[in-house]
Chain A
Amino acid sequence: MIFTCRNCGGNVVFSPEKQKMYCPYCEGEDCEESTVKPTTVTQCSNCGGEIQINEYTSSSKCSYCGQHIVFDERVTGAYEPQLILPFKIGKEDAKKLMRDTFSKKIFAPDSFLSEVKLNSMEGMYVPFWLYDYDTNYDYEGKGTKVRVWRSGNTEYTETSYYTIQRNMDVAFDKVPVDASFALNDEIMDLMEPYKYGELIDFSPKYMSGFFGEIYNDTADNLESRAKQKAENDAEGLLKSSISGYTTVTPIRKNLRMQKKGTHYTLFPVWLYMYTYRGKTYRYHVNGQTGKVIGTVPVSVAKVCAYGATLAASFATIGLLVRTILEIL
């Protein structure tokens, strides 16, 4: 599926800045019409060029003609997402966020935040499964409160023992788990949270202009991570209701979880890959909130230059101050 402009025939993409479909050729807005051509997943329906995709790619860009293509068979039927968070942050904003976040990392190589390198950033819709749970947590524990005081030469220690009982109901709404093998789970967890108030029903037009993937694994197979997240949160909530004790020892913990539903959803992420001394570093910018995740590479030359300058400067200042004070 290709979105073309009714006015000029150009490739229409979704503009995060305008929150509208936009033709970069004639600058028309909401002028798209979807063109379903007999597309194969390896051939561009516009120019016939070969498209480099993998088994999970649902939208891509032809490296020959630059046309953005959404693969129909990967956004319909079993692969049709229920919800999508459209990109809210455009490429220029994502580049600015990268610069704002990493410009103070003085040991990063000079080219790391260069315009040329940052232009290689690509927006991608990452597949997520969102899980809803109803939980009940039944808990019993033993708590102690210790009070110490002195009287004369004697120290008294009073230990009071309590039985702690809690029974808590809590529902979790849309606990996210990324469904992309290529993306690091830890990094995807750090990208959270997304603002769910802006979730909307899926439409393939939002994918035009961006890369995308279908879920790489089923909701059932990936559920363990969601359950773990919900369990941890339930545990944290219960613990927050227990306070004032010196020690707490659980006697009984019974957490029941019932899955209420799953939602196949696409979340927006800007990806920046930077290769330095043979190693590839990945950076992720949350396409909705702008949160940036990634560690910067270190230039040994810059470490030496900055370190030596600082040491020399410090020594120079020390000697100058000493000399001045001694003259005085």
Chain B
Amino acid sequence: MKQYFHFFRFVFIGIAVLILVLGAVSAGKAAIGSLGIGERTNTECLTEERVFDYADKLTDKEEAKLRKLIAKREKQIGCDIVLVTLEESLEEYVKPYEEQLGYIYVDEYTTVYADNFYDEHKYGYDVPYGDGAILVDNYAREYDGLRYAAFSTCGKVEYKYSDAMIDHMFDRIFAYEKLGPYAAYKTYINTLYHDMSGMLQFTAYWSLPAILMLSVVVMAIFVLINLIPSKGKKTTTIKTYVADNSMKMNQQSDVFLTKTVTKRRIETSSSSGGGGRSGGGGHHRSSSGRSHGGGSRGR
């Protein structure tokens, strides 16, 4: 038992320290409150819903977790946060708006949809069409073979987000998309929170099963390493039993005989890369004439 506690002493101390840090962080956070952000004042918003999974890419549980996270983050940064997934071409959808907005390029389809969606529901934390952002992720491919996502901003989010920040938002969403839609949308919400609040940029994607699985792997490695049997090492060398000064090289010759040279042509291959197209970020007007920021990106 003594050996057991001795062996795990630093681990137990580490856990105790983390528990203390957790307590301190929780208390500190509670004291600070929600960064001085007031209650939501937009009374005209047509819905309480924030997650519209039309493409059905999220499980009910994931949707519930995202709703909970959005509710928490909205209060922290004072912005509405909306998420929409689609799986339909928007080519026909945007045509009626071309008269008003001019020719709409394929990479702008989702942006038009996002702007309209935001305006139609009168989103905005402070006032209708006010502070907030919306992510529309379309799983259907347009005629150019790409599928687009649009990140549309409004109010203080529009003013905060530069083109570089919009690019960074897409970079992060697409990077975490490899882990699945849930991870990508969690990234969207947390990146928005981090960007708006200036808080530490960290989003944990360690689900409980992943942590448990990793724990089992660590345990297995630990056990296997400690189970490797070792009798002992050989500590004699080829010279251990050589009598002092007894080694004598009577002949030592290395005579060159001949040489051959062969040659081989090296095949070279050329490759070319490709990538998605990027719709420009920045400020624009929606079909209802309201100002939005953001942009879209295909992949």
Chain A residues engaging chain B, CB cutoff 8 angstroms = 105-107, 110, 132, 143, 150, 153-175, 186-187, 189-190, 192-193, 229-230, 232-233, 236-237, 240-241, 291-296, 298, 303, 305-328
Smallest Cβ distance from A294 to chain B, in angstroms?
7
Contacts of B243 in A (CB 8 A): 132, 170-173
B290 within 8 A of partner (CB):
no
Smallest Cβ distance from B26 to chain A, in angstroms?
6
Q: Assuming the A-B contacts A166-B251, A310-B218, A318-B206, are A154 and B241 also in contact, with contact meaning beta carbons closer than 8 angstroms in the complex?
A: no
Pairwise interchain contact B19-A326, C-beta atoms closer than 8 A: no
Pairwise interchain contact A162-B232, C-beta atoms closer than 8 A: no
Pairwise interchain contact A155-B15, C-beta atoms closer than 8 A: no
Pairwise interchain contact A154-B206, C-beta atoms closer than 8 A: no
Q: Assuming the A-B contacts A291-B232, A311-B216, are A169 and B248 also in contact, with contact meaning beta carbons closer than 8 angstroms in the complex?
A: yes
Contacts of B14 in A (CB 8 A): 317
B179 within 8 A of partner (CB):
no
Contacts of A308 in B (CB 8 A): 219
Partner of B204, one of A159, A295, A326: A326
For B, the interface residue count at a CB cutoff of 8 angstroms equals 70
Chain B residues engaging chain A, CB cutoff 8 angstroms = 3-4, 7-8, 11-12, 14-15, 18-19, 21-22, 25-26, 29, 199-200, 202-204, 206, 208, 211-212, 214-216, 218-219, 222-223, 226-227, 229-236, 238-244, 246-266, 268
The CA of A159 and the CA of B3, in the complex, are separated in Å by: 60
Partner of A327, one of B26, B218, B252, B264: B26
Contacts of B235 in A (CB 8 A): 192-193, 291
Pairwise interchain contact B200-A105, C-beta atoms closer than 8 A: no
Contacts of B266 in A (CB 8 A): 150, 153-155
Pairwise interchain contact B7-A306, C-beta atoms closer than 8 A: yes
The CA of A190 and the CA of B234, in the complex, are separated in Å by: 5
Q: A305-B4, A314-B219 are in contact. List 5 more A-B contacts (CB 8 A).
A: A159-B262, A170-B246, A309-B4, A320-B18, A326-B203
Smallest Cβ distance from A300 to chain B, in angstroms?
11
Smallest Cβ distance from A49 to chain B, in angstroms?
37
Pairwise interchain contact A295-B219, C-beta atoms closer than 8 A: no
Minimum CB distance partner of B22 in chain A? A324
Pairwise interchain contact A318-B214, C-beta atoms closer than 8 A: yes
Smallest Cβ distance from A137 to chain B, in angstroms?
10
Lowest 5 CB-CB distances: which A-B pairs, in order? A236-B238, A171-B246, A167-B251, A311-B219, A173-B243
The CA of A171 and the CA of B233, in the complex, are separated in Å by: 25
Most chain A CB within 10 A, of B216, B231, B248, B262, is at: B231
Contacts of A172 in B (CB 8 A): 241-243
Pairwise interchain contact A328-B214, C-beta atoms closer than 8 A: no
Partner of B242, one of A232, A237, A293: A237
Smallest Cβ distance from B179 to chain A, in angstroms?
15
The CA of A189 and the CA of B232, in the complex, are separated in Å by: 11
Smallest Cβ distance from A314 to chain B, in angstroms?
4
Contacts of A314 in B (CB 8 A): 211, 214-215, 218-219
Pairwise interchain contact A168-B254, C-beta atoms closer than 8 A: no
Smallest Cβ distance from B190 to chain A, in angstroms?
9
The CA of A305 and the CA of B219, in the complex, are separated in Å by: 11
Q: Assuming the A-B contacts A143-B254, A175-B241, A303-B223, are A192 and B15 also in contact, with contact meaning beta carbons closer than 8 angstroms in the complex?
A: no
Partner of A171, one of B22, B242, B253, B257: B242
Pairwise interchain contact A169-B252, C-beta atoms closer than 8 A: no
Contacts of A319 in B (CB 8 A): 208, 211
The CA of A164 and the CA of B231, in the complex, are separated in Å by: 39
Minimum CB distance partner of B207 in chain A? A322
Smallest Cβ distance from B235 to chain A, in angstroms?
7
Q: Assuming the A-B contacts A169-B250, A170-B247, A309-B8, are A325 and B202 also in contact, with contact meaning beta carbons closer than 8 angstroms in the complex?
A: yes
Pairwise interchain contact B202-A164, C-beta atoms closer than 8 A: no
Contacts of B3 in A (CB 8 A): 106, 110
The CA of A74 and the CA of B156, in the complex, are separated in Å by: 101
Contacts of B229 in A (CB 8 A): 295-296
Pairwise interchain contact A311-B218, C-beta atoms closer than 8 A: yes
User: Can you list 7 pairs linking A and B with CB atoms under 8 Å apart?
Assistant: A110-B3, A153-B265, A156-B263, A309-B4, A313-B8, A320-B22, A324-B22
Contacts of B199 in A (CB 8 A): 328
Smallest Cβ distance from A50 to chain B, in angstroms?
36
Q: Assuming the A-B contacts A158-B259, A158-B260, are A313 and B239 also in contact, with contact meaning beta carbons closer than 8 angstroms in the complex?
A: no
Smallest Cβ distance from A269 to chain B, in angstroms?
13
Minimum CB distance partner of A284 in chain B? B232
Partner of B18, one of A241, A294, A311, A324: A324
